[in-house]
Copies of this chain bind each other. A is one copy, B any other.
Amino acid sequence: MRVIQFGLGPIGNKLTKFLLERNNIEIVGAVDCDPAKIGKDIGELAGLGRKTGVVVRASMQEVLREKSADIVVLTTSSQLVKIMDQIKEIIESGMDLVSTCEELSYPWLTHPEISREIDRLAKEKGVTVLATGINPGFVMDFLPAAMTGVCRDVEKIVVERIQDAQFRRVPFQKKIGAGLTVEQFNQRVAEGSLRHVGLTESMQMIASKIGWEIEKKEEVIQPILARQTFTTKDLYIEAGNVLGVEQIGRCYVKGEEKITLIFRAALGLPDPVDRVMIKGDPDVELAIKGGIYGDTATCAMVLNAIPVILASSPGLKTMVDCMPVSFFT
Protein backbone atom coordinates (compact mmCIF):
# COMPACT_ATOMS: atom_id res chain seq x y z
CA MET A 1 0.00 0.00 0.00
CA ARG A 2 1.60 3.23 -1.18
CA VAL A 3 0.81 6.28 0.93
CA ILE A 4 1.37 10.05 0.67
CA GLN A 5 1.41 11.92 3.99
CA PHE A 6 -0.17 15.38 3.58
CA GLY A 7 0.38 17.60 6.65
CA LEU A 8 3.38 17.23 8.96
CA GLY A 9 2.21 18.77 12.21
CA PRO A 10 2.34 16.75 15.46
CA ILE A 11 -0.29 14.25 14.24
CA GLY A 12 1.22 13.95 10.76
CA ASN A 13 4.69 13.32 12.17
CA LYS A 14 3.40 10.67 14.53
CA LEU A 15 1.56 9.09 11.65
CA THR A 16 4.67 8.89 9.46
CA LYS A 17 6.44 7.18 12.37
CA PHE A 18 3.63 4.60 12.70
CA LEU A 19 3.35 4.15 8.92
CA LEU A 20 7.08 3.46 8.65
CA GLU A 21 6.72 0.63 11.20
CA ARG A 22 4.44 -1.41 8.93
CA ASN A 23 5.97 -3.79 6.42
CA ASN A 24 3.05 -3.66 4.03
CA ILE A 25 2.99 0.15 3.79
CA GLU A 26 5.34 2.40 1.88
CA ILE A 27 5.38 6.18 2.26
CA VAL A 28 6.08 7.42 -1.25
CA GLY A 29 5.78 11.13 -0.58
CA ALA A 30 5.02 13.91 1.89
CA VAL A 31 3.48 17.36 1.49
CA ASP A 32 3.35 20.43 3.71
CA CYS A 33 3.10 24.11 2.84
CA ASP A 34 5.25 25.26 5.80
CA PRO A 35 8.56 26.58 4.35
CA ALA A 36 10.34 25.41 7.51
CA LYS A 37 9.42 21.81 6.66
CA ILE A 38 9.81 21.75 2.88
CA GLY A 39 12.92 19.82 1.90
CA LYS A 40 13.24 18.09 5.29
CA ASP A 41 13.26 14.30 5.52
CA ILE A 42 10.13 12.88 7.20
CA GLY A 43 12.34 10.70 9.41
CA GLU A 44 13.95 13.80 10.89
CA LEU A 45 10.59 15.52 11.36
CA ALA A 46 9.22 12.44 13.12
CA GLY A 47 12.21 12.45 15.46
CA LEU A 48 13.43 9.05 14.29
CA GLY A 49 17.03 10.27 14.11
CA ARG A 50 17.41 8.74 10.65
CA LYS A 51 16.62 9.69 7.09
CA THR A 52 14.02 7.77 5.14
CA GLY A 53 14.72 9.22 1.71
CA VAL A 54 11.25 10.80 1.65
CA VAL A 55 11.48 14.58 1.61
CA VAL A 56 8.64 17.04 2.24
CA ARG A 57 7.40 18.77 -0.91
CA ALA A 58 5.50 22.04 -1.19
CA SER A 59 2.63 20.57 -3.18
CA MET A 60 0.87 17.37 -4.16
CA GLN A 61 1.74 17.98 -7.83
CA GLU A 62 5.44 17.92 -7.01
CA VAL A 63 5.06 14.49 -5.39
CA LEU A 64 2.85 13.13 -8.15
CA ARG A 65 5.34 14.14 -10.84
CA GLU A 66 7.67 11.44 -9.49
CA LYS A 67 5.46 8.93 -7.68
CA SER A 68 1.99 7.46 -7.57
CA ALA A 69 0.11 6.35 -4.47
CA ASP A 70 -3.00 4.41 -3.45
CA ILE A 71 -4.07 6.70 -0.65
CA VAL A 72 -3.34 10.08 0.92
CA VAL A 73 -3.30 10.62 4.68
CA LEU A 74 -4.56 14.18 5.16
CA THR A 75 -3.83 15.77 8.55
CA THR A 76 -3.89 19.49 7.86
CA SER A 77 -6.94 20.93 9.67
CA SER A 78 -10.00 20.20 11.81
CA GLN A 79 -12.08 22.49 9.62
CA LEU A 80 -13.59 21.07 6.50
CA VAL A 81 -13.95 24.32 4.54
CA LYS A 82 -10.23 25.01 4.98
CA ILE A 83 -9.22 21.76 3.28
CA MET A 84 -11.79 21.47 0.51
CA ASP A 85 -9.23 22.35 -2.15
CA GLN A 86 -6.84 19.73 -0.81
CA ILE A 87 -9.61 17.11 -0.74
CA LYS A 88 -10.66 17.91 -4.30
CA GLU A 89 -7.11 17.78 -5.58
CA ILE A 90 -6.57 14.36 -4.00
CA ILE A 91 -9.83 12.94 -5.34
CA GLU A 92 -9.16 14.33 -8.78
CA SER A 93 -5.76 12.66 -8.76
CA GLY A 94 -7.64 9.36 -8.33
CA MET A 95 -6.34 8.48 -4.88
CA ASP A 96 -8.30 7.32 -1.83
CA LEU A 97 -8.22 9.63 1.15
CA VAL A 98 -8.14 9.16 4.92
CA SER A 99 -8.17 12.21 7.14
CA THR A 100 -8.15 13.26 10.79
CA CYS A 101 -10.34 16.27 9.91
CA GLU A 102 -12.97 16.10 12.67
CA GLU A 103 -15.62 17.92 10.66
CA LEU A 104 -15.22 15.41 7.83
CA SER A 105 -16.00 12.46 10.14
CA TYR A 106 -19.73 13.05 9.63
CA PRO A 107 -20.22 16.14 7.47
CA TRP A 108 -23.63 15.24 5.97
CA LEU A 109 -25.72 17.50 8.23
CA THR A 110 -23.32 20.33 9.08
CA HIS A 111 -22.00 20.71 5.51
CA PRO A 112 -24.60 19.03 3.28
CA GLU A 113 -23.55 20.68 0.03
CA ILE A 114 -19.86 20.05 0.52
CA SER A 115 -20.65 16.45 1.51
CA ARG A 116 -22.67 15.84 -1.63
CA GLU A 117 -19.92 17.40 -3.72
CA ILE A 118 -17.20 15.22 -2.16
CA ASP A 119 -19.39 12.13 -2.51
CA ARG A 120 -20.22 12.88 -6.15
CA LEU A 121 -16.61 13.62 -7.07
CA ALA A 122 -15.35 10.53 -5.25
CA LYS A 123 -17.85 8.28 -7.00
CA GLU A 124 -16.97 9.87 -10.35
CA LYS A 125 -13.30 9.14 -9.78
CA GLY A 126 -13.88 5.75 -8.12
CA VAL A 127 -12.19 6.71 -4.87
CA THR A 128 -13.16 6.46 -1.19
CA VAL A 129 -12.99 9.27 1.37
CA LEU A 130 -13.11 8.69 5.14
CA ALA A 131 -12.20 10.76 8.18
CA THR A 132 -11.53 8.92 11.40
CA GLY A 133 -9.65 8.98 14.68
CA ILE A 134 -10.44 8.06 18.23
CA ASN A 135 -12.87 10.91 18.90
CA PRO A 136 -14.65 11.60 16.64
CA GLY A 137 -14.44 8.30 14.80
CA PHE A 138 -14.57 5.63 17.46
CA VAL A 139 -15.22 6.06 21.20
CA MET A 140 -18.22 8.39 21.06
CA ASP A 141 -19.80 7.24 17.79
CA PHE A 142 -18.70 3.97 16.15
CA LEU A 143 -18.51 2.08 19.45
CA PRO A 144 -21.90 3.13 20.89
CA ALA A 145 -23.55 2.67 17.47
CA ALA A 146 -22.08 -0.85 17.18
CA MET A 147 -23.09 -1.72 20.75
CA THR A 148 -26.75 -0.98 19.96
CA GLY A 149 -26.61 -3.95 17.58
CA VAL A 150 -27.29 -6.23 20.55
CA CYS A 151 -30.50 -4.38 21.43
CA ARG A 152 -34.08 -5.20 20.62
CA ASP A 153 -34.92 -1.65 21.60
CA VAL A 154 -32.91 1.47 22.45
CA GLU A 155 -34.34 4.31 24.50
CA LYS A 156 -31.25 6.38 25.17
CA ILE A 157 -27.49 6.39 24.64
CA VAL A 158 -25.05 8.08 27.00
CA VAL A 159 -21.32 8.15 26.35
CA GLU A 160 -18.72 9.53 28.75
CA ARG A 161 -15.10 10.21 27.95
CA ILE A 162 -13.32 11.27 31.13
CA GLN A 163 -9.64 12.09 30.72
CA ASP A 164 -7.03 12.98 33.28
CA ALA A 165 -4.80 15.40 31.35
CA GLN A 166 -2.14 15.52 34.06
CA PHE A 167 0.37 13.38 32.18
CA ARG A 168 -0.52 14.47 28.64
CA ARG A 169 1.54 16.78 26.43
CA VAL A 170 1.56 20.47 27.43
CA PRO A 171 -0.05 21.51 24.10
CA PHE A 172 -2.97 19.20 24.94
CA GLN A 173 -3.19 20.68 28.44
CA LYS A 174 -3.25 24.19 26.97
CA LYS A 175 -5.81 23.12 24.38
CA ILE A 176 -8.27 22.18 27.12
CA GLY A 177 -7.70 25.52 28.87
CA ALA A 178 -5.53 24.38 31.78
CA GLY A 179 -4.07 27.40 33.60
CA LEU A 180 -6.50 29.98 32.23
CA THR A 181 -8.67 32.23 34.37
CA VAL A 182 -12.42 31.76 34.00
CA GLU A 183 -12.55 35.02 32.05
CA GLN A 184 -9.83 33.90 29.64
CA PHE A 185 -11.55 30.53 29.29
CA ASN A 186 -14.86 32.13 28.40
CA GLN A 187 -13.18 34.44 25.93
CA ARG A 188 -11.43 31.52 24.23
CA VAL A 189 -14.75 29.68 24.05
CA ALA A 190 -16.43 32.76 22.57
CA GLU A 191 -13.67 33.00 19.94
CA GLY A 192 -14.22 29.35 19.14
CA SER A 193 -10.61 28.47 19.87
CA LEU A 194 -11.33 26.29 22.88
CA ARG A 195 -13.57 23.37 22.12
CA HIS A 196 -13.35 19.72 21.27
CA VAL A 197 -14.40 19.45 17.64
CA GLY A 198 -16.48 16.38 16.97
CA LEU A 199 -19.33 16.04 19.48
CA THR A 200 -21.85 17.25 16.91
CA GLU A 201 -20.46 14.91 14.27
CA SER A 202 -20.50 11.95 16.70
CA MET A 203 -24.13 12.56 17.65
CA GLN A 204 -25.15 12.90 14.03
CA MET A 205 -23.28 9.72 13.09
CA ILE A 206 -25.07 7.67 15.75
CA ALA A 207 -28.47 9.18 14.98
CA SER A 208 -28.14 8.63 11.24
CA LYS A 209 -27.09 5.02 11.73
CA ILE A 210 -30.06 4.28 13.97
CA GLY A 211 -32.45 6.28 11.84
CA TRP A 212 -33.27 8.92 14.45
CA GLU A 213 -34.13 12.30 13.01
CA ILE A 214 -32.51 14.94 15.18
CA GLU A 215 -35.04 17.59 16.00
CA LYS A 216 -32.84 19.64 18.31
CA LYS A 217 -29.28 19.46 19.50
CA GLU A 218 -27.29 21.48 21.96
CA GLU A 219 -23.73 21.67 23.10
CA VAL A 220 -22.49 23.34 26.28
CA ILE A 221 -18.92 24.05 27.29
CA GLN A 222 -17.82 25.00 30.75
CA PRO A 223 -14.56 25.11 32.66
CA ILE A 224 -13.57 22.60 35.32
CA LEU A 225 -12.02 24.71 38.10
CA ALA A 226 -9.26 24.04 40.60
CA ARG A 227 -10.61 23.92 44.15
CA GLN A 228 -7.09 24.29 45.44
CA THR A 229 -3.71 25.06 43.94
CA PHE A 230 -2.72 22.41 41.41
CA THR A 231 0.80 22.00 40.06
CA THR A 232 2.31 19.81 37.38
CA LYS A 233 5.91 19.79 36.26
CA ASP A 234 5.04 22.43 33.67
CA LEU A 235 2.03 24.30 35.04
CA TYR A 236 1.02 26.10 38.22
CA ILE A 237 -2.71 26.58 38.58
CA GLU A 238 -4.23 28.72 41.31
CA ALA A 239 -7.44 27.79 43.07
CA GLY A 240 -10.37 29.12 41.05
CA ASN A 241 -8.53 28.90 37.76
CA VAL A 242 -9.12 26.35 35.03
CA LEU A 243 -8.00 22.70 35.16
CA GLY A 244 -9.74 21.74 31.95
CA VAL A 245 -13.00 21.56 30.10
CA GLU A 246 -16.36 19.84 30.26
CA GLN A 247 -18.31 19.70 27.04
CA ILE A 248 -21.72 18.07 26.81
CA GLY A 249 -23.71 17.39 23.67
CA ARG A 250 -27.38 16.46 23.73
CA CYS A 251 -29.54 15.34 20.90
CA TYR A 252 -33.34 15.23 20.96
CA VAL A 253 -35.66 13.08 18.89
CA LYS A 254 -39.43 13.57 19.12
CA GLY A 255 -39.06 15.61 22.29
CA GLU A 256 -36.85 13.10 24.09
CA GLU A 257 -33.15 13.36 24.87
CA LYS A 258 -31.84 10.29 23.03
CA ILE A 259 -28.08 10.85 22.85
CA THR A 260 -25.91 12.46 25.51
CA LEU A 261 -22.16 12.78 25.00
CA ILE A 262 -20.11 13.90 27.97
CA PHE A 263 -16.51 14.87 27.35
CA ARG A 264 -14.34 15.91 30.30
CA ALA A 265 -10.62 16.53 30.10
CA ALA A 266 -8.82 18.20 32.98
CA LEU A 267 -5.70 17.97 35.11
CA GLY A 268 -6.14 15.49 37.96
CA LEU A 269 -9.61 14.21 37.01
CA PRO A 270 -10.27 11.05 39.01
CA ASP A 271 -11.30 7.72 37.43
CA PRO A 272 -10.55 8.35 33.76
CA VAL A 273 -12.69 6.09 31.62
CA ASP A 274 -14.56 5.74 28.35
CA ARG A 275 -18.06 4.56 29.11
CA VAL A 276 -20.99 3.63 26.87
CA MET A 277 -24.39 3.26 28.51
CA ILE A 278 -27.39 2.14 26.55
CA LYS A 279 -30.82 2.13 28.12
CA GLY A 280 -32.76 -0.43 26.17
CA ASP A 281 -33.52 -4.12 25.93
CA PRO A 282 -31.07 -5.33 27.07
CA ASP A 283 -29.34 -2.45 28.86
CA VAL A 284 -25.65 -2.26 28.02
CA GLU A 285 -22.95 -0.74 30.19
CA LEU A 286 -19.47 -0.88 28.77
CA ALA A 287 -16.38 0.69 30.31
CA ILE A 288 -12.85 1.00 28.97
CA LYS A 289 -10.52 1.17 31.95
CA GLY A 290 -8.50 4.38 32.03
CA GLY A 291 -9.98 5.45 28.69
CA ILE A 292 -8.27 4.96 25.35
CA TYR A 293 -5.06 6.95 25.10
CA GLY A 294 -5.92 9.42 22.34
CA ASP A 295 -2.47 10.47 21.13
CA THR A 296 -1.52 6.99 20.00
CA ALA A 297 -4.99 5.73 19.19
CA THR A 298 -5.97 8.50 16.77
CA CYS A 299 -2.94 7.83 14.60
CA ALA A 300 -3.37 4.05 14.91
CA MET A 301 -7.01 4.28 13.84
CA VAL A 302 -6.16 6.38 10.77
CA LEU A 303 -3.40 3.98 9.79
CA ASN A 304 -5.49 0.86 10.45
CA ALA A 305 -8.32 2.31 8.35
CA ILE A 306 -6.17 2.24 5.21
CA PRO A 307 -6.93 -1.35 4.07
CA VAL A 308 -10.64 -0.85 4.88
CA ILE A 309 -10.75 2.27 2.71
CA LEU A 310 -8.86 0.63 -0.13
CA ALA A 311 -11.41 -2.23 -0.11
CA SER A 312 -14.48 0.04 0.14
CA SER A 313 -16.85 1.07 -2.61
CA PRO A 314 -16.32 4.64 -3.85
CA GLY A 315 -17.82 7.70 -2.17
CA LEU A 316 -17.76 9.69 1.04
CA LYS A 317 -17.92 7.24 3.94
CA THR A 318 -18.25 7.47 7.68
CA MET A 319 -17.06 4.99 10.29
CA VAL A 320 -20.53 3.46 10.58
CA ASP A 321 -20.80 2.63 6.90
CA CYS A 322 -17.42 0.99 6.40
CA MET A 323 -16.18 -2.41 7.50
CA PRO A 324 -14.84 -2.27 11.06
CA VAL A 325 -11.24 -1.09 11.32
CA SER A 326 -8.78 -3.49 12.98
CA PHE A 327 -5.09 -3.63 13.58
CA PHE A 328 -3.52 -5.46 10.63
CA THR A 329 -0.25 -7.12 9.83
Contact = CB atoms under 8 A, between A and B. Distances in A.
Contacts of A328: 209-211
A132 to B, nearest CB: 9
A109 to B, nearest CB: 17
Given A210-B326, A328-B210, A329-B212, A150 B300 contact: yes
B288 A282 contact: no
Interface string A63-92: 000000000000000000000000000000
A289 B287 contact: yes
Contacts of A293: 282
A299 interface: yes
Q: How many copies of the shown chain assemble into the complex? A: 2
A210 B280 contact: no
A106 interface: no
A256 interface: no
Interface in A296-311: 296-297, 299-301, 303-305
Contacts of A209: 324, 326, 328
A51 B322 CA distance: 40
Contact of A326 (B148, B152, B285, B286): B148
A327 B280 contact: yes
Interface in A251-282: 280-282
Given A150-B138, A301-B150, A210 B284 contact: no
A148 B327 contact: yes
Contact of A154 (B134, B211, B320, B327): B327
Contacts of A323: 320-323
Interface residues of A, number: 50
A296 B152 contact: yes
Given A287-B289, A323-B320, A329-B211, A150 B280 contact: no
A225 interface: no
Nearest to A139: B150
A285 to B, nearest CB: 4
Contacts of A329: 210-212
22 contacts: A18-B152, A138-B149, A142-B146, A148-B326, A149-B305, A149-B327, A150-B297, A150-B300, A151-B327, A152-B296, A152-B300, A152-B327, A154-B327, A210-B329, A211-B328, A211-B329, A282-B293, A285-B288, A287-B287, A320-B326, A323-B323, A324-B324
Given A152-B303, A280-B327, 15 more contacts: A21-B153, A134-B150, A146-B325, A148-B327, A149-B300, A149-B304, A149-B305, A150-B292, A152-B300, A211-B328, A282-B293, A282-B296, A285-B288, A285-B289, A313-B313
Pairs A-B, 5 closest by C-beta atoms: A149-B325, A148-B327, A150-B297, A146-B324, A285-B289
